[in-house]
Amino acid sequence: MVKNLAKGCVSFLFFVIVSYSGIGQTTQINRSEERLYREALELFEKEKYASAQHLFEEYLSAVGSKNTMQKGNAEFYKAMCGVHLENRDAEREVRSFVMHYPENQKVNYANFALGNLYYKQKKYADAVYWYGRVETNALGFNDKCECFFKRGLSYYYINKKDLAAQSFAAIKDVDNKYSSPATYYYSQIAYEEKNYATALKGFTVLLNDESFGPIAPYYIVQIYYIQRNYEKVIEQGPKLLESSTQSRSAEISRLIGESYYRLKMYPEALPYINRYADEAKNITREDSYLIGFINFKANNHKKAVESFERIVSGDDSLSQNAYYHLAYSQMQLDAKQKALQAFGMASKMSFDKDIQEDALFNFAKLTFELNYNPFNEAITAFNSYIEKYPNSPRVDDAYEYLMIAYTNTKNYKAALESLQKIKKQDVKTKSAIQRVAYYRGLEQFQNLNFKDAIASFDLSLENSSYNHTLGALTKYWKGESFYRLEDYDSAQRLYGEFLLAAGAFDQSEYKLAHYGLGYSAFKQKKYDESMVWFRKYTSFQEVPSKPALADAYNRIADILFFERKYWLAIENYDKAYALNASDPDYALYQRSFALGLVDRPERKIESMNTFLQKYPKSPLVDDALFEIGRTYTQIEQFDKAEETFQKLVDKNKGSNYYIKALVELGLINVNKNDDDKALEYYKRVVEDFPGTNEAKNSLLAIKEIYVDKNDVDSYFTYAQKLGKDVSLGMAEKDSLMYSASERAYLANDCAKAIPGFKKYIATFPNGDFLLNSYFYLADCQERSGNLGDAATAYKYVSEMPKNQFSEVSLKKYANISFGLKNYKEALAAYEKLEVNAENKSTLLEARVGMMRSANEEKLLQQAADGATKLLSTEKASAELLREAHYVKAKSLYGLGDLDGASAEFAQIATNVRTKEGAEAKFMKIQISYQQKKLDAVEKEVFEFADMNTPFQYWIGKSFLILGRLYMDKNDAFQAKATIQSVLDGYSVKDDGVVDEANKLLKEIEEIEKAKQNVQQAPVEVIQK
């Protein structure tokens, strides 16, 4: 702008000197008044306005009320002095003159002066008013030009540009000092009003002007650009850029760059558009798109990506185009994962239908190629494409990809749901259903959902004609599911169908089916049939499972043992023992025991001692000691027998063999004729284990010893001391009352048995059948659903001295307490059961119960310890080991041991097809994020996605962490694309994942808005 060219002062010459030719007036003004006027006028002409104003005031005071032309002139000059001095009352003085002397010839100049005053004060509306009162033709040439220019500029400032243009037009083509600025403003107005031809003509005139020559080329280049005369832009633009200021170079670079682009000269456009990107202070989304697109066209994809990612924040055509081209750039940079996300975002916008279609197809195809299906995206995308674009030339390709995706998918749950929605199912569809349903069944089997697994296997079998091998395997695993449900008859039938099915023979499951058939018959006590299948399994030269082979030999041996074919049993126990793969301690113990049954006592003892040496921690150690002692007794080596039983007694009072060993020690001493020592052992049994059969039999043995010693009184004294009524009547009553309840119990009539046992217990609190009564009462109460009462009774039995019901009662009490959610009581019971477990299965059950009870009670350290014990327990199934790692990991996490927790989660995170494995994988990601291992987080999330877990909740949660990670890295594009993928692909809407995703997306959008506080200018969207 050239506002400084308008001086804002009165520039005309006040040359009118009062003529003294008017002699008639001289008579009216005395000489002193005349002198004052002339002196004032001289001072005014010398620009001594303060002194002049003072004399004019004296003059006017001297003249008084005389009304003369000279007086009016004096008022005019006095007002002009105020204007020059910029007095506060100058405006009032001028207005007063105009009002009081309207006919004075100087009024025109007064209007002009007042216009200039308002112009100088930037009161442009007032200036326009007073300039409008000026008769421009009455002004001198220079003043006339000044008036037109200042009036035009005042009109311009009050936005009356048409009137401004008229004023400028009056002087722009006339040679005067205002012609150049008038031409500039006239051209500027034409430019603003989009009269580009007029503007171009005006600015061209100014090219050689000293003041406006430097600025005119900027307008000229812009006008050429607007007129799409891109050849002129690239002709004149570079020269202009060389001489441009830093503030203007960015914009000129943009015009040149885009002009080259419009002419499809992309390499030439590149340096200019990138210079603009580097120099511009505020780059709009539209600018970023232009920069990105030119770099895209020039194959500078890295720079293109940077620009496109800055603008994909809105839901508009610009964002869709940016996502679309961003995807292709990422493909060129081999960043296919990011390309996938960008295609996905572009495909969800419908501003450009062609782009939407192409983006959807490429999203689906790339998802398929990357095998990236955390939410079954490939199948969903191809289905969507086929549905939306049934007439597309690529629909056949989409269908082919879809069928392959169904065949290859590992997200079986979602795939199966999708396949079942297809109304017209052809061969390919049904073949895909067979495969997907089979693997879905395996997933459910792994997660112990056996009934659901059977339903999936049935669906697969409905389509089994397409893949015979898969059909055969489906029968096998359906049989396994029935076996786990203890439906052994159905399991046996399915195993048999599998063996006869086409394609079964070459599968590893073929041999295992024989093993399964053996166990199915064994569980139904069909031992002859079981033997046949186990023998067939052991006859294979190679078997898929060495532990299963050892176990099969043990079962064969057990059947032979049951059939009293002891030598054959020993032979098979030896085979199981030699494999050292499954229960070798059991095999050696049973072999040793069987040697005693074939009258090889010395070999039995020798074998049992070998067992004790090799397996000192086996739960069968007490059994072995007891058998050694019994064998020594049988061969009448009483000292060695006594020594062995004493070891058992000294070893563990809680052992189930403790009481039996005491009885045996009593019997040995009877045989050694040491009645006093025998009495000592028998009395320990009677006194320490009241209510047990051993106590009852020991009391009879005591009676016999006293009778043999002819000391019946001592027996009665001892019996009375015990509180026993040894009279025949009471003993008979005791027995009869118990027998009646026992008969009802054995007849499964718990309704009669329960009150009977309760009455017996109340009548005979120290009765001979107290133990049995409590146990049978507990069993009936459990079967009747009175679990609380049953638990109380079982607990009583378990707290009695060691007896034949101790272990089972303790187990029952623990299990019922756990089922009733009395986890604290259950934990104590399981801990006691662990100590007193007599076999591996009980030990395993105890440790499982300990871990689960502590976990439910939130006793984290105890839960972790219980899990550690379970992990070291023999014969723990894969499912239990998985659960143990899971509980231990969760407990360590709760205790703040992140490294320990991560290590445990890693043990099961490799199999995300189980619910524990999927959560474990997520927890590893969560821990890495907490530990700021951001690269590890990103790697593990994508690894998790590739594993195709059926547990979408955890994959969804993992992607939310990934989105948060990208936010931490200030990568809004990746964050938004990641969260959007969750919102688009996650099917469950009420488990919190979608809510959290929406919350995160809102955060991202707020961050983007905060970063984009720049003016958005409309721009034409450039197409591919």
Task: Give residue-wise pLDDT tens across range 682-728.
Answer: 999 888 888 778 888 898 898 888 888 778 778 888 888 887 655 54
Mean pLDDT (the chain) is: 88
Strand stretches in 717-835, DSSP E: none
Q: Are 530 and 518 in contact (CB under 8 A)?
A: yes
What would the two tokens of residue 225 be?
A: 């650009």
Q: Are 852 and 827 in contact (CB under 8 A)?
A: no
Q: Are 296 and 266 in contact (CB under 8 A)?
A: no
- Report which residue type is found at 534: F
Q: Are 555 and 530 in contact (CB under 8 A)?
A: yes
What would the two tokens of residue 584 be?
A: 């070798």
- Is the pLDDT higher at 653 or at 346? 346
The pLDDT, as a whole number, for residue 395 is 87
Band the pLDDT of 1014: cuts 50, 70, 90.
very low
What would the two tokens of residue 769 be?
A: 């059948």
Q: Average of pLDDT values for 168-189?
A: 93
Kindly report the pTM of this predicted structure. 0.66
Q: Which residue has the tokens 């089922």?
A: 819
Task: Give residue-wise pLDDT tens across range 18-76.
Answer: 333 333 343 344 668 888 899 999 999 999 999 999 999 889 888 887 767 788 899 89
- Report which residue type is found at 741: S
Q: Average of pLDDT values for 981-1006?
A: 88
The pLDDT, as a whole number, for residue 225 is 94
**What backbone torsions phi and psi does residue 257 show, to the nearest 5 degrees?**
-60, -45
What would the two tokens of residue 713 be?
A: 């009184």
Superfamily of structural domain 618-710: Tetratricopeptide repeat domain (1.25.40.10)
Q: Average of pLDDT values for 876-881?
A: 90
Task: Give residue-wise pLDDT tens across range 525-574.
Answer: 999 999 999 999 999 988 878 899 999 999 999 999 999 999 999 999 99
Alpha helices in 122-245 (DSSP H): 124-132, 141-157, 161-172, 179-192, 196-205, 216-226, 230-243
Task: Give residue-wise pLDDT tens across range 433-477.
Answer: 999 999 999 999 999 999 999 999 999 999 988 899 999 999 999
Domain limits of the chain? Answer: 618-710
Q: Average of pLDDT values for 383-408?
A: 86
**What backbone torsions phi and psi does residue 265 show, to the nearest 5 degrees?**
-105, 70
Whether residue 1002 has pLDDT greater than 50: yes
Alpha helices in 877-971 (DSSP H): 878-894, 898-908, 915-930, 934-946, 952-968
Q: Which residue has the tokens 């309704």?
A: 751
Q: Average of pLDDT values for 597-625?
A: 93
User: What percent of the chain is modeled with pLDDT above 70?
Assistant: 94
DSSP assignment letter at 207: G
954 CB-side CA count, 13 A: 25
Q: Are 920 and 889 in contact (CB under 8 A)?
A: yes
